[in-house]
Amino acid sequence: KPKCYSLLAIILLTMLILVFFSSGLLSPRSQTPGSPEVGARVKELDHLQVVTLSRMVYPQPKVLTPCRKDVLVVTPWLAPIIWEGTFNIGILNEQFRLQNATIGLTVFAIKKYVVFLKLFLETAEKHFMVGHRVTYYVFTDRPADVPRVALGAGRRLVVLTVGTYARWQDVSMRRMQAISDFSERRFRHEVDYLVCADVDMQFDDHVGVEILSPLFGTLHPGFYGSSREAFTYERRPRSQAYISRDEGDFYYMGAFFGGSVQEVTRLSKACHQAMMVDQANGIEAVWHDESHLNKYLLYHKPTKVLSPEYMWDKQLLGWPAVMKKLRYVAVPKNHQEIRNR
């Protein structure tokens, strides 16, 4: 009997100890804000801002009703092709405001091409990324000739002085080197996206965040309806820009491309290096940096493709019905006359 009593006492003592510790762990007191773990979480939550989203009312998208029946709106690699009628800019603006993104717009105004800069900037202020933060990066060899243009809130202009070259072809090709260098040294610290544009153009209609993605290219207005055999790719195998006649998705214009700073850095660096290899081998691609851009985008598919609405020439091509809007258009001029000044 003494052995039974001692065994019973041990069992009862063990049960009491278990009840004591379990009650301590499970009691509300152990989960009060005074405990170290919960207190740390509460302090973290105290620093969070309340996220308020504005209510948005817009027509419901219809799964069985295509937004456009007359044009291709998605590539075989599932990148959207941006046409009027394929996006709701109100929705997109709200999404990009949540990102708090800043967009950089690079433009080269070398030699007499600085004369186009005033119209370029004035029309950009009316139509380019309205309501978002924008930094204009003007590359020029004539900083004193950069015009003063009134800029809206959250928008600024930075003048970057660069050298020039005797041939316009070299000026064009060296753009990739300048974009690559400044992307690593400066742009990646200041902006989230880069849009690279030609200066002898003007914005005629809305160009906004619908174009932004990690990497985008723009369909050439002269080839958007052509077969790949008709594209003016570089066809000489000796060139780094070579594309065979049985390859090619689209022909992209060198005057309007962009994406995230990281992806534009990769693109511009790769194109510049390829052009340097060509130069060492005594060959120059048929359309210079544009040829190398097309080669790059063939093997590094863009995540968005802009329709010819974003690159058009009314003087040469008129205004076909398929173009609901003309957003970024060429300014009438005599290129040769300007280059010879």
Known catalytic residues are 290
307: exposed, middle or buried (C-beta count within 10 Å: 0-12, 13-18, 19+)? buried
What count of Cα atoms within 13 Å lies in the side-chain half-sphere of residue 291? Answer: 23
Contacting residues for 102 by C-beta, under 8 A, at least 6 apart: 132, 133, 134, 135, 190, 191, 192, 193
Cα–Cα distance, 96 to 209 (Å, whole number): 7
Q: Are the beta carbons of 207 and 127 closer than 8 angstroms?
A: yes
Cα–Cα distance, 44 to 64 (Å, whole number): 46
Cα–Cα distance, 260 to 310 (Å, whole number): 18
What count of Cα atoms within 13 Å lies in the side-chain half-sphere of residue 50? Answer: 2
Q: Residues annotated as binding site? A: 108-110, 113, 198-200, 220, 232, 290, 313
What count of Cα atoms within 13 Å lies in the side-chain half-sphere of residue 23? Answer: 6
Cα–Cα distance, 167 to 6 (Å, whole number): 105
188: exposed, middle or buried (C-beta count within 10 Å: 0-12, 13-18, 19+)? middle
